[in-house]
Structure 1
Amino acid sequence: MTVPVRPDARRNATPYLYGREAAAVARVLESGQYGHSDVTEQFERRVANWLGVPEAVSVSSGTAALHAAFLAAGVGPGDEVVVPSMTFCATIQAILATGATPRFVDIDPDTLCVTGDLLMEAVTDATAAVAPVLFGGRAVDLSSVQGEFDRRGIVVVEDAAHAFGSRDGSRPVGAGGTALTCFSFGPIKNLTCGQGGMVIPRSPQEAERLRRLRLLGVVQSQNERADITTYHVDSFGLRYQLSSINAAIGLAQLDRFATTERVRRRLWRAYRQALAQVDGVTLVDVDVDRAVPHLCQVRVPRRDEVFAELRARGIGVGVHYPPNHRQPAFAAWRRSLPATERAGAEILSLPFHQHLTRDDIDHVASELERALKTTGGS
């Protein structure tokens, strides 16, 4: 049977461009300066000003941001990092890249995020850092346990890949000053650079460590090296700079971020309304009044059957994410995480991107209701 579908309901998430990105990239191409340049540093300053923080250090990806942040915090071999299993595998790979090991922790089933209490329960004498994941864009409030982390010398590295623009109470995520906050500016993030990332440091010294890490341990900046005959490498480093081509896209996106915030919240609320009368569906709460949603997720019975039925009907659903503690690469650190395992069997990501209309959302909700009836899930 052929089922008619709306074009935007069936498409997977794609970047939403406002129209000035191509011209911004063209100006960089014409300049001939494609690496880390004044455009990159302008993007860093603009993000720092937008967040209300002294400094922001750009890198080549969200994964690079996490890796650099862990290294800047001194995480290394023999250390443990407490991290939720419910995250993209990049979070875990960044931990392993430092020589440390993950200690997986369970989640709050209502939010798919960790809590301060859950993190504290998982802390051991080997814990050097905790890595809360701001799943779907929802902030994680650790104020109740931050004092204990400080007392134990445990660093907080926030995986805020989903959460650029979200707020933690009255402050933007990244502006709290108690965590190294890592953003991703990948293709379908709330703000895209095409590819890129950012670390918000806690101090000028941490910012300086991050800048050397991203530039192969070289002491002098690119501008300083232009006027000297040598340079100095005084530490380990990687080639993690953000290209000016990517930074130009980010600058164009940042100019329109107020629109991004408004539209993404409106689309998420439209889903909440459309799904309210659909039996068998639980919408995962992202705290939409403070978050800039990155995902719209539901929990459904018979998830795999519902997934297959919706894909057959042309609806671009996905799963974010298969729990990492069940992945073969991370089997050595497997623990019993009952809430994560239940969520991993039930979560379903609905199409969520700025190309959607209210009609698209109503169509997805209707098809989801049909799929649940077909599979016996409602």
Structure 2
Amino acid sequence: MMNTAPTEVTRNARPFLHGPEAAAINDALQAGQYGHSSRVEEFEHAVADYLGVPDMVAVASGTAALQLALLAAGTGPGDEVIVPSQTFCASVHAILATGARPRFIEINPHTLCIEEDQVRAAITPATRAILPVLYGGRAVDLSALHDTLESQGISVVQDAAHAFGSRSGTTLVGAQPGLLTCFSFGPIKNLTCGQGGGIIPRNAAEADALRGLRSLGITQSQQERAATTTYSVDGFGLRATMSDLNAAVGLVQLQHFATVAAKRKALWTSYATRLKPLTGVALVDVDIEHTVPFNCVVHVPDRDRVFKELRSRGIGAGVHYPPNHTQPAFQTWHRPLPVTEESGRHLMSLPFHPAMSDDDVRYVISVLEHALPQEDACGES
């Protein structure tokens, strides 16, 4: 007998707020700081301190972070950027926005992340950057490739949209030397600003370049511009600044991040325990010891039918993500990727957000078990 559906299970993901965010936004409103001002700088310093790095550049979104980081790395027309097809389309659009083209590669089906040998085989004379996607929050280790990439002038721009708070070994993602790391602070991310993104630069000069790129090429700060009759546009730039309202939310979130991290780890572990008896289901491995997980993804048989069954019962199943090399907009860069294609036919995301309880997980699993083909549910026919 299945339990009655708990509240909030119906959504695949949802923002998780701690309460003081509303007061923080109101304080910013009362101060008249709606745009990019002092709270953004405070948020940048707070994230940098958390990660133990010299600087963080806050921007309008995770997608903007990727585009600006690629531009700062010198990516442009004629260049190639190596990227897994198994990612959100934002990763690809960020590449195209620089004038470069994506070179799609395979993933490890157990982690949905790229690996060193796949990257090494894909490098061409046109390769300007590698864009590893830290799927589900799991870090990608390309350290063995570092010398090769450095000698060829190839940058590693980490798409760490899922991975705030995760670690590569003992090092926090974002604090690894020699990497440009991009975070998303979107509504359902591990740490949310409502909307926003952040870039961890490799050095002070790159931080300055990124601040110019996010501000229409203007190098002076808001305070400096207010004190003079002119300003200098020193290069190309976009309108990609973060607002103080978003930074106000991010500051509260960062103060309580340990709570969210613990809830996400416990939720993923609860799923892992309860999925084990379902022999037709394979859980994507996030390396939970080192990861603050963003989602819970499984391979299931007859995915489309199971997906529809879960949705009909109020369970917010999702698919993250359809492979990009099969998307109509990206057909120019299509190449056969059989592992990604096979994985993409079976991937399904289960509801995953910090407000969920252990009872919620039990309910989701009970519905999933009944939705599976009978011969694959607990080995029974």
Residue aligning to 1:14: 14
Structure 1 runs (4+) deviating above 4 angstroms are 374-378
Distance 1:203 1:90 in 2: 25
- The CA deviation at 1:146 is 1.1
Residue aligning to 2:158: 158
Residue aligning to 1:37: 37
- The CA deviation at 1:375 is 9.0
User: After the TM superposition, which of the residue ranges 119-128 and 318-327 deviates more from structure 2?
Assistant: 119-128
- The CA deviation at 1:8 is 2.3
| Alignment check: 8 A CA contact 2:57 2:198 kept | yes
Give SS of 2:368's match: helix
Distance 1:35 1:247 in 2: 10
Give SS of 1:199's match: strand
| Alignment check: 8 A CA contact 1:21 1:252 kept | yes
Residue aligning to 1:278: 278
Distance 1:138 1:211 in 2: 28
Give SS of 1:7's match: coil
Give CA deviations for 1:129-164 in whole Å, capped at 9, x if unaligned: 010000000000111111111111100000000000
- The CA deviation at 1:177 is 1.9
The alignment's TM-score, normalised by the length of structure 1, stands at 0.98
Distance 1:375 1:7 in 2: 30
Give CA deviations for 1:236-272 in whole Å, capped at 9, x if unaligned: 0011000000000000000000111111000000000
Distance 1:154 1:257 in 2: 33
Residue aligning to 1:91: 91
- The CA deviation at 1:338 is 1.2
Q: Which amino acid aligns with 2:232?
A: H
Identity of aligned residues (%): 58
Distance 1:305 1:125 in 2: 44
Residues 1:342 and 1:181: Cα distance change in structure 2 (over 3 Å)? same
Q: Which amino acid aligns with 2:14?
A: T
Residue aligning to 1:195: 195
Residue aligning to 2:46: 46
Distance 2:375 2:104 in 1: 33
Distance 1:376 1:298 in 2: 14
Residue aligning to 1:68: 68
Q: Which amino acid aligns with 1:229?
A: T
2:233 is the counterpart of 1:215: no
Quote the RMSD (CA, aligned, Å). 1.3
Distance 2:81 2:169 in 1: 25
Give SS of 2:9's match: helix
What aligned pairs does 1:314-333 form with structure 2 within 5 A after superposition? 314-333=314-333
Runs of 5+ consecutive residues of structure 2 not aligned to the other structure: none
Give SS of 1:8's match: coil
Distance 2:374 2:199 in 1: 46
Residue aligning to 1:240: 240
- The CA deviation at 1:333 is 0.5
Runs of 5+ consecutive residues of structure 1 not aligned to the other structure: none
What aligned pairs does 1:356-375 form with structure 2 within 5 A after superposition? 356-373=356-373
Residue aligning to 2:138: 138
Give SS of 2:54's match: coil
Residue aligning to 1:28: 28
| Alignment check: 8 A CA contact 1:117 1:145 kept | no
- The CA deviation at 1:178 is 1.3
Residue aligning to 1:309: 309
